[in-house]
A and B are shown apart, each in its own frame.
Chain A
């Protein structure tokens, strides 16, 4: 299963696309929880970076919104896995996500001022698009626990709002 998943990740990574291996092996609930939590951690880290580096007030406000909402979702996710006695399981999708995020973080770290603002906003659009796509086609359909599925659906709803917000911020910076 991981061979196919890894192969698919390798394939999409080559194209510079997100790490989500859609249509590949079906992730289990412990893997889904890990992927969703990791995706949240990544955006929290990006928001923290933006809060210190961004110069435009709308970008700073957007980053504060991301921090607040993603921390709320991840706190709920932690409470849920504790309640369900599920141990999130690391997997190739999570690893690929973290690797890509680390690269992007380093790339953004080199930028300043308006350049940083534009690159961060553009990445937030792309990132939320990728995460939302994965939630819709991979994570939500494969989640078997009803509470996990419901939390992912709440996540999707709020992240769709984030994507719109990011698109709005990105468009205003052009």
Chain B
């Protein structure tokens, strides 16, 4: 899945062309009831791969209501960031799981 965007970027760079900002993919993992990294930075348009390694269902729920991602046990789900801001989020089922995502415009 990842090489799909690595190749075009590499090709463009080698050709010496200026490319528009390319959306990146960022991984955030829920493992043993801990979110890591606890603080992450991304840009609008980037994709987050939410990796749930636990046997429990988790959510990544933005406190400001921007998003509420549901993660079944042992599954990875993806979401695309649509709004900028510094977002504190947590798991609704396990509120001790907290983290922060800074989304630049």
Contacts and interface: CB of A to CB of B under 8 A. Distances in A.
Contacts, number: 27
Interface residues of B, number: 10
Interface stretch (A5-13, A67-75, A93-101, A109-117): A67-75
Contact of A157 (B33, B57, B95): B33
A150 to B, nearest CB: 10
Nearest to B33: A157
Contact of B93 (A65, A73, A75, A154): A65
Nearest to A157: B33
Interface in A149-167: 154, 157-158, 161, 164-165
A144 interface: no
A157 B55 contact: no
A68 B33 contact: no
- Size bracket, chain A contacts: 10 to 19
Where chain A touches its partner, the secondary structure class is helix
Contacts of B95: 161, 165
Interface of B: 32-33, 55-57, 73, 93-96
Given A65-B93, A154-B32, A164-B96, 8 more contacts: A72-B55, A72-B57, A75-B55, A157-B33, A158-B33, A161-B33, A161-B94, A165-B95
Q: Which 7 A-B pairs have the closest CB atoms?
A: A72-B55, A76-B55, A72-B56, A161-B96, A65-B93, A161-B94, A157-B33
Interface of A: 65, 68-69, 72-73, 75-76, 154, 157-158, 161, 164-165
22 contacts: A65-B93, A68-B56, A68-B93, A69-B56, A69-B93, A72-B55, A72-B56, A72-B57, A72-B73, A73-B55, A75-B55, A154-B33, A154-B55, A157-B33, A158-B33, A158-B56, A158-B94, A161-B33, A161-B94, A161-B95, A161-B96, A165-B95
